[in-house]
Every structure is written in structure tokens, then in C-alpha cells.
Amino acid sequence: MKKTDLEKLNGLKIRGRMKNTDTPDRFAKASGGANAESSVNPLIAKLLKKGLEDKGNA
């Protein structure tokens, strides 16, 4: 067989394995998506609040 034929077969094998595997949890339902509870760093929250107050006074 030619080298290109071997590489093509290897690629087909890899593609077949990728199609048969499940989606990792970090990309699926376990990640929570938009429903995930997120916490904001207290310092960031304080700065955001201060920025909004400054905009309100300007």
C-alpha cells in the first residue's frame, strides 16, 4: 500500500472512534450552562457597584 492510503485508513479509524465516543461531561449536562450558579468575586462586585453609582451621578 502507498503511504497516502495508510494515512487515509488511519484517519478513518480515528474519525470512527471520535464518532463513537460520548461527549465529555464538561461540555454536556454536567457543566450547567446558563443555569449554573455563578459567584462573583466580592472585589469585582464592589467595583461594578461603584462604577454604576458613578454613572448615575454623572
More confident residue, 38 or 14: 14
Does 58 score more than 90 pLDDT?
A: no
Global pTM? 0.39
- Give the type of residue at 17: R
**pLDDT-based confidence at 10, cuts 50/70/90?**
very high
Q: Are 32 and 38 in contact (CB under 8 A)?
A: no
Residue ranges per structural domain of the chain:
1-31
Q: Cell for 34?
A: 446558563
More confident residue, 18 or 37: 18
More confident residue, 39 or 5: 5
Q: Tell me how far the alpha carbon of residue 25 is from its chain's centroid.
A: 11
